[in-house]
Amino acid sequence: MDRPQKFGRYILTRRIAVGGMSEIFLAHHTSTDDSRANRVVVKRILSSLAQDPSFVGLFINEASLAAQMDHPNIVRVYDFGEFEGQLYIVMEYIDGVDGWRLIRHGSPLGVPVSLYILREVLKGLDFVHSFRDLNGRPMGIVHSDVSPSNIYISRLGEVKLGDFGIAKVEHEQGPKRSAVPKGKFGYMAPEQVVGEPYDHRADLFGVGVVLGELLIGDKIFSGKSQLSILLNIRDVRLEPLERRRDAIPAPLYQMLMHALTRRPEDRFPSARAFSDAVSEYLSVQRLAPTAGDLAAVVNATLGRLIHLIGPRTQPAASPKTEEAPVDTTDRVIPPIERVPDFSKISTEVFKGLNASYLFEDELIGDHREEGSTKTPTRPQIALKLKSPDREVVEEITLAKLIENIYTGQVHLNVLLSVDGGPFLPLHEIPEIARHLPSHTPTMDISEPGPPDRRGFIGPDSVAQILLSVSDARESGLLLFDRDQIRKEIFFREGELVYVTSNLPGELLGEFLVNRGILTRDKLNIALDVLPKYNGHLGDTLVGLGMLRSVELFRHIGDQVKTKILELFTWPRGEFQFYRGVRCPKVEFPLSIVLEKLIVQGIESAVPDEALANHIADMADDLVEPASELPLLGRFDLNSETAAAIESLRRETKVRAWMASGDPAVMPRAFLFGLELGRIEISGKRPPWRAD
């Protein structure tokens, strides 16, 4: 904007930032002048999104939450309203920088100043996490986007946490929920990335990442693609910190590791506990950083920025995955109403909106942040196949070729020509070679050598077979075969690391189409341009704007689990284990808790009605505890089911054991006891495992 503009009750003097959802203006109330003491910040939803219920909901969510927060370490909201169909929020103006610019443009902060910033952020989070509604009930607010660009630091050394746009609210007694997270990739907690329920401890993980970046002046989680960043977070790969470990005092490094643990229960239990640990460290080290120390760093940073880009010019935008926040504000409060009056907003903006947008984070978020969702024009890549001993040439689409490779319907010695190029073996074309299986579904089973162990589904359950490899901490390849269907499961020291299948429906693309996540046409478009993304379907889907990377990350996890869960439906089959066979290089290594997956598989294997019929048929059979009793505590069973299984202490008839407990619990106890090898039926196998 070239000159100040009137916007309702405010004069917008200049635009200082713009993001995917809103634009930010330096402003003042029409009743005041433009002196520094009267400045505020107006955050206005983009006109193109003003009628989009998702974005309107997110915007209202931010205003409604932030307006209730009155704390020196929280950015204050003064007003909220609508003018000419555009919603806006009026916030306090902080004369300073955000944490993102402080880290990247400031001089090394040092331990004392870094910990001062961290402790102030934790004070704000403690207030947020402990906030109660008018009835005194804990609201269970999770900020969900703790990152340097949402931490604002004034010239006076004040530290404030802002941007509650994706915060979630749930009363303490309600269940924790999972959702597709909308925060910045590099600061999410592992449980957010994989789609598990998360709570306030996810914010504390983000605080740990911020502390690490303050100390080393660099990103903790990075990668070549968005998916690789998410993988690094999921597995908590902390190489940047580990490389600089010698530069971080040992007690402080341990504090960082405590905050950055993978399991939420292993982190600090609260923001206050984390803050207390920081205070204790400062006390032991006889460090007493002050707001003045931080103010000196902020003013020096601002001086460098002004020298680099000139006054009254917005600093350089942050990377694409981050929206650079407001870089200046002032703490003097102008005479504006403190609490926004939502009753003044036109009902037009609420059309199509459900009140749950204020609280249900599953419904809100920017689905355009990773590229346009417009279906791209479909390019044409000419592929031709021929056998090495024949001149017959067959045209084929990339989608069909990849499907045929995975399902074993193409001979791997065929030659392929791409866009009129020479005919080459498949393994010499990188974009195709990565799809070639380590062992073909039709190969002679003796090719890797004789198996170290083999057997059949029937005498052993799928759960027992998987656990036999996991419990022995074996490394190698476990094959399952049935009626031309093959599953290949690779283990490394007892951990599942990779799963392949020759079922067409279990290919990633087919999985997404079958789940209604992707249309067939879009999948074919993505497969046609696969070579432009180095043969990676995931990167292709994200690059074309067909899926957000966090959503795709979760879908890939579900797809992998589905490959294993399908095994539990097999009534028969053969298995072989080849010790020492190495897993091929994979782009998406697994991170699966086998015991949890086994429980899911058993639950889905036998429907309730079928189970009841089986139990009725076996009513006079004898059931007894197994000779070796595996521990049930490792499995995610409810206490009633576990207690029912353990209640069987001697041989008895199925009918009598079923009558000894809760009829709503005993059938499932019977199923889990048999499948986990905890109980046995004398002289026979369960009927759902065919001969």
157, pLDDT greater than 70: yes
For 170, the token pair is 């749930």
Distance of alpha carbon 142 from alpha carbon 179, whole angstroms: 12
pLDDT at 318: 32
Reported confidence tier of residue 337, pLDDT bands at 50, 70, 90: very low
pLDDT at 249: 94
pLDDT at 372: 36
pLDDT, tens only, 676-689:
988 888 878 888 87
Q: Which of 145, 327, 366, 539 is catalytic?
A: 145
Write out the H or E segment, with its range, that includes residue 153.
Answer: strand 151-154
Return the CATH number of the domain spanning residue range 97-309: 1.10.510.10
* 466 three-class SS: helix
Reported confidence tier of residue 634, pLDDT bands at 50, 70, 90: confident
pLDDT, tens only, 303-331:
887 766 655 543 333 333 333 333 333 33
Distance of alpha carbon 210 from alpha carbon 183, whole angstroms: 14
Residue 639 CB coordination number (10 Å): 7
Compute CA distances 141 → 148, 198, 216, 316, whole Å. Answer: 19, 11, 30, 32
C-beta of residue 426 within 8 angstroms of C-beta of residue 386: no
pLDDT at 469: 94
Segment among 6-10, 345-349, 521-525 with least mean pLDDT: 345-349
Using the structure block, give the residue that is written with the tokens 């100043």.
113
Q: What is the layout of strands, in order, in the sheet containing 383-386?
A: 393-395, 383-386, 415-418, 424-425
Using the structure block, give the residue that is written with the tokens 């109660």.
132
Segment among 21-35, 347-361, 387-401, 437-451 with least mean pLDDT: 347-361
Beta-strand (E) ranges in 347-410? Answer: 383-386, 393-395
Of 352, 363, 346, 347, which Cα lies nearest the Cα of 53?
A: 352
pLDDT: is 44 or 48 the higher one? Answer: 44
For 113, the token pair is 């100043």
Beta-strand (E) ranges in 505-644? Answer: 573-579, 622-625
pLDDT: is 478 or 549 the higher one? Answer: 478
pLDDT, tens only, 469-496:
999 999 999 999 998 899 999 999 999 9
pLDDT: is 598 or 395 the higher one? Answer: 598
pLDDT, tens only, 64-103:
777 788 899 999 888 888 888 888 889 899 888 999 889 8
The pLDDT of 155-175, averaged and rounded, is 71
Using the structure block, give the residue that is written with the tokens 């490094």.
253
pLDDT at 73: 94
Of 220, 76, 73, 235, which Cα lies nearest the Cα of 158?
A: 73
Alpha helices by DSSP H, 438-519: 462-471, 508-514
CATH T-level fold of 5-93+329-341 = Phosphorylase Kinase; domain 1 (3.30.200)
46, pLDDT greater than 90: no
The pLDDT of 109-132, averaged and rounded, is 94
C-beta of residue 684 within 8 angstroms of C-beta of residue 626: no
Whether 145 is catalytic is yes
pLDDT, tens only, 490-510:
999 999 988 988 888 888 888
pLDDT at 325: 38
pLDDT, tens only, 265-278:
999 999 999 999 99
Q: Domain limits of the chain?
A: 5-93+329-341, 97-309, 453-591, 606-681
181, pLDDT greater than 60: no
Average pLDDT over the chain reads 80
Q: What letter represents residue 481's amino acid?
A: D
pLDDT, tens only, 354-378:
333 222 222 222 333 333 334 444 4
Q: What letter represents residue 586's amino acid?
A: V
Report helix, strand and coil shares of the chain as percent, to nearest 5: 40, 15, 45
- pLDDT over 70 percentage in the chain: 80
Considering the entire predicted model, what is its pTM? 0.70
